[in-house]
Amino acid sequence: MSDDRLTRAADRTQAIMRSTLELAQEVGYAKLSIEGVAARTGVGKHTIYRRWPSKGALFLDAVLTSNEPGLDYPDTGDIVVDLRQQIHAAVDLLGQPPLGPLYQALVGEAQHDPLVAAALNERFIRPQADRTVARLRKAQQQGQLSPEFDLDVAMAILSGPLYFKLLITQEPLTHEYVERVLNVLLAGMTPRP
């Protein structure tokens, strides 16, 4: 394929994903359709289906590539500062528009589509969990966390309350709430004298 054709194909792919996000924000995920995205982008449905097998797969790609969530951990040498900074960034990104409602819809779709669930886990959830556990492990090795503390459980305890508010109660995620979660978690994972 020539460079011009590759560039046009990449541009078309980006236009399709951009249209998907715009349309999802306007009508909601439930009313989003491949036909609507095709019409908005000015391409045929077959052009979309060649790239993505389903609406869910298209939506996943659009959400995860549009913002390239920058949720890497800082390393200030203080695990509390680093957790706070990273979780605040996650709350700011996922807890409000435009990405918040789209991410909620994506997690909802993952409950019905095993391929979307696997891709979401592989491309976003697992990498974030791995980064969290790696940062906790480093802090544990530095003596900032109890050597007996189960880091995988700590990851679940950190993310569970945030997902609970985001997906179940749909209450606002705030920095104050993050502080409450961190205080409870840190009470159990800091080394005992």
**Rounded-to-integer distance, Cα 52 and Cα 46, Å:** 10
- The alpha-helical segments, DSSP class H, found in the chain are 3-27, 34-41, 45-51, 55-66, 79-94, 99-110, 114-120, 126-141, 151-163, 175-189
CB atoms within 10 A of CB 132: 23
Query: How far lies 3's CA from each of 6, 8, 48, 145, in Å?
Result: 5, 9, 21, 52
pLDDT in tens, 35-70: 999 999 999 999 999 999 999 999 989 988 876 556
Dihedral angle sign, alpha carbons of residues 149, 151, 153, 159: positive
**Rounded-to-integer distance, Cα 83 and Cα 74, Å:** 8
R_g of the chain computed on alpha carbons:
20
pLDDT in tens, 4-25: 777 888 899 999 999 999 999 9
Closest by alpha carbon to 52, among 109, 11, 13?
13
Whether pLDDT at 34 is above 80:
yes
Residue 189 pLDDT class (50, 70, 90 cuts): low
Contact 165, 184 (CB under 8 A): no
The predicted model scores a pTM of 0.82
Q: Output the six-digit token pair for 46.
A: 């077959």
Whether pLDDT at 102 is above 90:
no
Q: Which CATH superfamily is domain 3-55 in?
A: Homeodomain-like (1.10.10.60)
pLDDT of residue 67: 60
What CATH number does the domain located at 67-189 have? Answer: 1.10.357.10
Mean pLDDT, residues 131-146 taken together = 93
Residue 190 pLDDT class (50, 70, 90 cuts): low
Contact 173, 95 (CB under 8 A): yes
pLDDT of residue 35: 96
Domain ranges of the chain: 3-55, 67-189
Residue 186 pLDDT class (50, 70, 90 cuts): confident
Average pLDDT, the chain: 89
Residue 72 pLDDT class (50, 70, 90 cuts): confident
Residue 119 pLDDT class (50, 70, 90 cuts): very high
**Rounded-to-integer distance, Cα 132 and Cα 86, Å:** 9
Q: pLDDT exceeding 70 applies to what percent of the chain?
A: 94
Contact 66, 18 (CB under 8 A): yes
